[in-house]
């Protein structure tokens, strides 16, 4: 089978998914086109124009199936390259443009939402990486259509729902092999917490600082690693956080600071961590959390967003109910570690390639048979 795979905003999670897809289905003949994950507004609106002018020859080849991420300006691309409209198409949603929290520094536009909506209408199958992602997309489309002044086809929502399903980004099987070598710290050592997310506003750096501030005030026995991908315009709050951790009690609470490019070393840090913490205000799957849990880390995540789909209530916190805040959970686990009674990380092997590959095979076959 000849498959054209398009990833026009090839961020880390998108790379993780597409390389896994190609790796686990070597029997297919893959043609992969990508564009770098920068200049978001231009990229999501202009990828069809960029590819039409630079990759027309490859786009006009004969393919059996087209797989594209939801960042693809699919409707325009099919107009520019009419042959693509005849190819059965699967659109994969790593995220949706309706559920992102508003940025304090960017002017919001509905253009990304419209591009994604048109792409969803043009595609034959829609696949989302979580039910949270699917529901917020469909409800977002409905809300948008209701705001339009006239001729807004509300029946589109039910049509999109009928051709949608949930199929998660799989985790690499090697994580469970590495887990067997996990080397957790002793009961007398500090509780090791890792925060391993993109250094951007939607990952909740203000909430992270508030958690660290409270733990420093309590003078409890903990150490924290602040990892994750950094950018030139990362929130300045990370400077304040680093200063506090390096200067308070001579930096005894600071573990590893900054992005770890080497995956083997990164996995070693996770293996030696007790807890992996999310302070996100948006997550559609949470791959960094799930990888850490696969390696044996206890998750501590919001009881909103996607996380109730993956973890039982004991691993979730709420900012509304007394006794269920992130700090309360951490303080409790610090005491439990002293007595060797830390909970076991939940099983997420249902998210492995071993568990999901047959479903991906069916999704590709079913797209071909549209």
User: Are 206 and 335 within one domain?
Assistant: yes
Nearest to 27 by CA among 3, 49, 60: 3
User: Do 196 and 162 belong to one domain?
Assistant: no
305: left (phi over 0), alpha (psi -120 to 50) or beta: left
The answer to whether the Cα torsion of 258, 262, 265, 269 is positive or negative is positive
For the whole model, what pTM was predicted? 0.94
Cα separation, 200 vs 12, whole angstroms: 14
What is the structure's pLDDT at 188?
83
Q: What is the mean pLDDT of each run of 10 residues along the chain (370 residues)?
A: 98 96 98 96 97 98 98 98 97 94 67 96 98 98 95 95 98 87 72 96 94 94 95 89 94 96 96 96 96 97 96 90 74 94 96 98 93
Task: Please tell me whether residues 162 and 254 are part of one structural domain.
Answer: no
How far is Cα 31 from Cα 29, in angstroms, rounded to an integer? 7
My answer on whether 186 and 83 are in the same domain is no
CA 316-129-210 angle, to 5 degrees, is: 35
Please count the other Cβ atoms lying within 10 Å of the Cβ belonging to residue 287: 21
Number of independent structural domains in the chain: 2
CATH code for position 13: 3.40.50.2000
Question: 79 and 189 share a domain?
Answer: no
Say whether both 137 and 219 belong to one domain.
Answer: no
Res 323: pLDDT: 43
Domain range enclosing 332: 174-350
Residues contacting residue 98 through CB under 8 Å, at least 6 positions apart: 113, 136, 137, 139, 140, 141, 143, 144
> What is the predicted pLDDT for the residue at 186?
75
Give me the pLDDT at residue 101, please: 74
Cβ–Cβ < 8 Å for 355, 167:
no
Q: Are residues 235 and 292 in the same domain?
A: yes
145 and 217 assigned to the same domain: no
Amino acid 85: pLDDT: 96
- Residue 234: per-residue pLDDT: 85
């Amino acid at each position: 089978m000849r498959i054209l795979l398009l990833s026009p905003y090839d961020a880390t999670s998108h790379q993780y998914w597409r390389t896994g897809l190609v790796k686990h289905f070597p029997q297919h003949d893959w043609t992969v086109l990508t564009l770098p994950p920068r200049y978001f507004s231009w990229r999501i609106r202009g990828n069809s124009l960029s590819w039409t002018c630079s990759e027309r020859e490859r786009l006009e080849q004969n393919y059996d199936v087209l797989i594209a991420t939801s960042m693809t300006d699919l409707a325009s691309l099919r107009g520019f390259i009419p042959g693509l409209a005849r190819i059965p198409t699967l659109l994969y949603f790593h995220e949706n443009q309706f559920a992102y929290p508003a940025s304090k520094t960017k002017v919001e536009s509905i253009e990304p939402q419209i591009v994604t909506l048109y792409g969803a209408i043009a595609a034959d199958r829609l696949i989302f990486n979580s039910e949270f992602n699917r529901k917020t997309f469909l409800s977002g489309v409905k809300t948008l259509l209701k705001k339009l002044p006239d001729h807004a086809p509300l029946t589109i929502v039910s049509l999109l729902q009928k051709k949608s399903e949930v199929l998660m980004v799989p985790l690499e099987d090697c994580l469970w092999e590495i887990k067997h070598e996990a080397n957790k710290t002793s009961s007398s050592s500090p509780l090791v917490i890792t925060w391993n997310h993109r250094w951007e506003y939607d990952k909740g750096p203000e909430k992270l600082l508030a958690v660290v501030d409270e733990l420093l005030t309590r003078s409890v026995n903990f150490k924290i690693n602040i990892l994750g991908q950094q950018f030139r315009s990362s929130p300045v709050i990370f400077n304040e956080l680093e200063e506090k951790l390096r200067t308070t009690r001579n930096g005894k609470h600071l573990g590893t600071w900054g992005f770890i490019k080497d995956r083997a070393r990164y996995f070693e840090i996770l293996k030696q961590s007790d807890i992996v913490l999310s302070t996100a205000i948006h997550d559609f799957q949470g791959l960094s959390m799930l990888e850490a849990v696969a390696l044996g880390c206890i998750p501590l995540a919001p009881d909103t967003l996607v996380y109730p789909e993956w973890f039982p209530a004991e691993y979730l916190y709420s900012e509304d109910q007394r006794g269920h805040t992130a700090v309360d959970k951490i303080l409790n686990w610090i005491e439990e570690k002293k007595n060797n009674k830390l909970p076991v990380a939940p099983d997420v092997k249902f998210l492995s390639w071993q568990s999901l590959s047959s479903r991906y095979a069916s999704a590709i076959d079913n797209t071909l048979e549209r």
